[in-house]
Structure 1
């Protein structure tokens, strides 16, 4: 068996990557919403 013990692994890299992903998805979603609103306003 391995010497694995839950909670002892360093996960700072995974947390940084996950936070970056969530940030990009949030910013992308906000950009898409504003783009759709802009297109709707311009199109009349």
Structure 2
């Protein structure tokens, strides 16, 4: 069985996926906050 050595795994794909997920989440939250503000102001 191979020995585990800390820090040798290539995680570039996981880092790119996480960065994309965080960007999507951030923009989604911004969109929904503006949508809520818009509805608060203009919905009657």
Is the pair's TM-score, using the shorter chain for normalization, greater than 0.5?
Answer: yes
- The runs of at least 4 consecutive aligned structure 1 residues that moved more than 3 Å come to none
Q: So what's the TM-score if we normalise by structure 2? A: 0.88
Alignment of 1:1-44 (within 5 A): 1-43=1-43
After superposition, the CA RMSD in angstroms is 1.1
Structure 2 unaligned residues grouped into runs of 5+: none
Give the structure-1-normalised TM-score.
0.88
Equivalent pairs counted in the alignment come to 44
Could you tell me which runs of 5 or more consecutive residues in structure 1 were left unpaired when the two chains were aligned.
none
